[in-house]
Structure 1
Amino acid sequence: MTRFTRWTALTVAAALLTAGCGGSSDDDSDDDGRSGGTALDWGRCEASGDTPAPGEDWQCATLEVPLDWSKPDGSTIGLALIRARATGDDRLGSLLFNFGGPGGSGVSMMPSYAATAAELRERYDLVSFDPRGVAASEGVRCRDDESIQAAESSVDGTPDTPAEERAFLQDAADFGKGCRKTAGKLMAHVSTTDTARDMDRVRQALGDDRLNYFGISYGTELGGVYAHLFPEKVGRMTLDAVVDPSADTVGHAKNQARGFQTALDNYLRSTGRDPGQGSREITELLERIDSDPLPTSSGRELTQTLALTGIVLPLYSKTSWPVLTSALEAAEEGDGTELLALADGYNERDASGRYGTTTHSQRVISCLDDKQRPTLEETKRLLPEFEEISPVFGAFLGWDTAGWCHDWPVPGQFDTPEVSAPGSAPVLVVGNTGDPATPYEGARRMADELGEGVGVVLTWKGEGHGAYGSGSDCVDSTVNAYLLDGTVPEDGKVCS
């Protein structure tokens, strides 16, 4: 099962290529660029698996932080960091990035994003990290590749019978048990709050008085939580593709149902089709695939859940819409190869059948964060509302609320994250009206919850997940002016 990851559009572009188609309670004193008495030892970055080492501009280091922040002198874990030094002479400090997920690797992502952030690099060291429980920072793997593929082919993400419901929930419970087995004690210490506290240690280790930060997608929630915990340490912070901090588990699922349906409607209009009729045709295609999975050139079958995942991926970026057209046309003709390739890209499955672990880490983090656990009966009562919101994506996202954290081994911590940040420096909140994964309304709600005089909204009337670096000179110049010169735009500025 795969929740639609709140992840940056650049990652989705890479997946398409792969597919071949309350205030601070821990006001730690700064220690002259040190953290916990240990300076960062920057050195050459090494290759990781099939990922080659980045170029000579990049340096890597490991920062030790407490496993349990309530026991700061207890056991520690290592956080993997990466940086490229500023290219100009007028250096402002470090700019820390989180690209989303939760569960995305900043260490692998940062070099790919450097071209987008080239102007920012003139005055900032570009820095990112793997949050706890992710990739090189004690990354979690909950099941092996063979088991993942078996679940993809046998578990229906929108169960239609009691037997399918039982298999759906049993798979969810088994996934949680696998996470518990591999993560151990770490499973109770990978919350967004834990990572926000880690970020303040990163700030100290980098030698910065304040945290300059660029959060994308889930990284906006992380940034908001940091601002709440450490408002006096916020420097220049930009949040792009904003997660709605007022939404609980069900609310997030409804938001995504609206967002992806809106993106699909816009895609259908771009092809000259009526959105209502086009959605009905896609729904009918998915129903046929549910009854009779499509063959593919690899010999694997395209199930309904994989087909839906394949449809989701190109909606993250308008430049990928032609890929969706080709895949849908092939599926209508009985060939699931292209949609399966898209689903594999989203699920981080390579040609040899190996899967990435972003969704493993995402689930461990989000299930520790989210207290809400809808039961099977509660979910069934919600399904008509989900299906009314989105005829294509509603059922899947509705069922996801029951299965994602079903029988999870550790309890969730909160219904919604606390992001109020009185006393913080201004935070630039960037919303895109066509964002499928983090709908635009979340930007205004984030700004409202950050507080008056803190949240400043910049709107882009565009398409895709995220605004900065997506083709709007207005957005890019406004964000750059804020991060580089401290120029805060008027709240409510619109870029079209």
Structure 2
Amino acid sequence: MSNTHRRGRAHRRWYAVAAVVCATAVALPLYAAQGQEEGSTLTWQPCKGHSDVQCGTLMLPIDRSSPGKTFGMKVARHKATNPSKRIGVLLVNPGGPGGSGVEMALDSKNFPAELRERFDIVGFDPRGIGQSHPIKCSTKLINKTPQKLPRSQAEFEQLASYNRTLRQDCLKHNGPLFDHADTLNVVQDMDALRTALGEEKINFYGHSYGTLIGQQYAQAYGGHVRSMVLESTMDHSLGTTKLASTAAAAVEDSLTAFAQWCKTTSTCALHGQDVLGRWDRLLAAADRGELHDSYGPVSADNLIDHAESSFMEPDWPGLAKWLKKLRTGTPHHQADPPSTGSTAESDPVRSAVFCQDWQVRLRDYQDLQALVRAEKADAPHARTSPKMHETILGCIGWPRQANNPQRPLHIDPGAPTILLVNSRHDPATGHAWARNVHRQAPSKTRLLTYEGAGHKAVGTPCTTKAMNQYLLHLTLPPKSSCPAADVK
């Protein structure tokens, strides 16, 4: 694996990801905080190294259908700096799956001063993540992840066997929590946290995979919500093929936007060139094993992965400079052996959540080939979304039935109108997903489009003002879009 590819991996904060796979929709369970959860309390103390933030642990059942075993959910609270004007609590989740809400709450710079004044910012680590019974599996086994895309039924079965072995290892190390890390369980944990905080209603901000937590909380406990902002939105209604192809289309869209930026921006290192044509030629060279940078060979997988990571921020200038430096032909040296196209390193935390939240179960090599064809049809230049593709491959061999399979969004009538904020060119949670979520709940959602690029939509004066006005005053933005900021 080249150093370039490693840099791409380092940028990954997975967003995750989703026709309904079951003919009959399954109703969301409406669990009240009861039994053991009623007796759960939070005892606060200063967080280590953060005297202005309080930390606590809430004990919760691992399996509500079979009470007994519990885990401790870690919580951090940054109290409102102006108590006399306090509105309530703002629960936050940064996405992932794997992101730490505790770490998010510890850094007050994550939130505008106006929100810190009026809300207790409360972050929690979802079950299996961070400091909440973190999922741990054999490092030795994780390091044996098959490093190539299956090219036959035999290799497909080898990957399925490996995934089953890893899953059994994780079950051995983590017990029943590994099979109960899905978002429906997290939603019930979150409502138990609301009860422990003594709040009738909560406010919620979720980013990326955190938007699935928000959506499903609004389905089950909409009457307990005062306000909710979902930034970079997941669409939990999509079947396996549509999930993969729309994810690939989001990367394709970002690639096209990048090419257009180079065409109109004189400071782009590829200005004046046919950027998509150059990309296609580089990809073809990578397929032949003839593409390299100063560190060594660059495979097609490396190339797409690095580009996708650059689209997240976005770092268009950096990507253009790197693409310009790539060379074709036989390299003078090879720092690493050529990549064969990886299924990526295993991420048991991601699999524990995603493979129970999405019924994505490729049955055989033919299914995989059909998926790849669908991705390429919607992404003729980018080919795939590496993150989504790898995550779906990680579920091969898992038990057929997921705990929380895809279904259309039906928000509780008691919920307020939810503010959806999404970049027009988001490589991870494409704008099409936000539009589809809005279509599923048009009377309960308002979509605000940031006309720029990247996996972060809030942060410009326009989007930040819209979010603040909504959370503070429940005033929805009068316009449906915010202008793009200049790419530097």
Aligned to 1:384: 373
The alpha-carbon distance between structure 1 residues 62 and 174, as it changes in their structure 2 partners (threshold 3 A), is same
Residue 131 of structure 2 corresponds to residue 136 of structure 1: yes
Q: Shift of the alpha carbon at 1:164? A: 5.1
Residue 280 of structure 2 corresponds to residue 280 of structure 1: yes
Distance in 2 (alpha carbons) for counterparts of 1:24 and 1:424: 16
Distance in 1 (alpha carbons) for counterparts of 2:155 and 2:119: 52
SS at match of 2:471: helix
Distance in 1 (alpha carbons) for counterparts of 2:462 and 2:392: 41
The one-letter amino acid of 1:118's match is A
Residue 65 of structure 2 corresponds to residue 75 of structure 1: no
Aligned to 2:41: 39
The alpha-carbon distance between structure 1 residues 482 and 418, as it changes in their structure 2 partners (threshold 3 A), is same
Residue 250 of structure 2 corresponds to residue 259 of structure 1: yes
- Aligned identity (percent) is 28
Name whichever of 325-334 and 95-104 sits farther off.
325-334
Match of residue 309, structure 1, among 274, 287, 305: 305
The alpha-carbon distance between structure 1 residues 395 and 444, as it changes in their structure 2 partners (threshold 3 A), is closer
RMSD across aligned C-alpha pairs, in angstroms?
A: 3.4
The alpha-carbon distance between structure 1 residues 88 and 396, as it changes in their structure 2 partners (threshold 3 A), is closer
Q: Shift of the alpha carbon at 1:458? A: 1.3
TM-score (norm 1): 0.79
Q: Shift of the alpha carbon at 1:38? A: 3.1
- When the two structures are aligned, how many residues end up with a matched partner? 442
Q: Which runs of 4+ in 1 moved over 6 A?
A: 291-295, 335-338
Aligned to 1:468: 458
Residue 260 of structure 2 corresponds to residue 269 of structure 1: yes
Matches for 1:99-178 after TM superposition, within 5 Å = 99-112=94-107, 114-144=109-139, 147-151=141-145, 155-156=147-148, 158-160=149-151, 165=156, 167-178=158-169
The alpha-carbon distance between structure 1 residues 329 and 170, as it changes in their structure 2 partners (threshold 3 A), is farther
Residue 292 of structure 2 contacts residue 327 of structure 2 at CA under 8 Å; is this kept in 1? no
The alpha-carbon distance between structure 1 residues 37 and 395, as it changes in their structure 2 partners (threshold 3 A), is closer
Aligned to 2:19: none
Aligned to 1:50: none
SS at match of 1:120: helix
Distance in 1 (alpha carbons) for counterparts of 2:108 and 2:430: 23
Residue 93 of structure 2 contacts residue 123 of structure 2 at CA under 8 Å; is this kept in 1? yes
Q: Shift of the alpha carbon at 1:173? A: 3.4
Distance in 1 (alpha carbons) for counterparts of 2:259 and 2:212: 31
Distance in 1 (alpha carbons) for counterparts of 2:150 and 2:274: 29
CA deviation vs aligned residue, 1:380-411 (integer Å, no higher than 9, x gap): 12322211222333285786476221111573
Residue 76 of structure 2 contacts residue 124 of structure 2 at CA under 8 Å; is this kept in 1? yes
Residue 460 of structure 1 contacts residue 475 of structure 1 at CA under 8 Å; is this kept in 2? yes
TM-score (norm 2): 0.80
The alpha-carbon distance between structure 1 residues 113 and 258, as it changes in their structure 2 partners (threshold 3 A), is farther
Distance in 1 (alpha carbons) for counterparts of 2:274 and 2:298: 26
Q: Shift of the alpha carbon at 1:198? A: 0.6
The alpha-carbon distance between structure 1 residues 84 and 286, as it changes in their structure 2 partners (threshold 3 A), is farther
The one-letter amino acid of 1:44's match is P
Residue 470 of structure 2 corresponds to residue 482 of structure 1: yes
Q: Unpaired runs of 5+ in structure 2?
A: 1-9, 15-26, 264-272, 339-343, 484-488
Residue 212 of structure 1 contacts residue 235 of structure 1 at CA under 8 Å; is this kept in 2? yes
Aligned to 1:191: 182
CA deviation vs aligned residue, 1:303-337 (integer Å, no higher than 9, x gap): 6545543332111012x223323443444375898
Q: Shift of the alpha carbon at 1:199? A: 0.6
Match of residue 493, structure 1, among 476, 480, 487: 480
CA deviation vs aligned residue, 1:218-271 (integer Å, no higher than 9, x gap): 111110100110111111111110112321233222121011111122223323
The one-letter amino acid of 1:365's match is V
Distance in 1 (alpha carbons) for counterparts of 2:385 and 2:52: 46
Aligned to 2:410: 420
Residue 141 of structure 2 contacts residue 166 of structure 2 at CA under 8 Å; is this kept in 1? no
The alpha-carbon distance between structure 1 residues 222 and 249, as it changes in their structure 2 partners (threshold 3 A), is farther
Residue 93 of structure 2 contacts residue 206 of structure 2 at CA under 8 Å; is this kept in 1? yes
Distance in 1 (alpha carbons) for counterparts of 2:206 and 2:120: 16
CA deviation vs aligned residue, 1:185-217 (integer Å, no higher than 9, x gap): 112211110001111011111221112100111
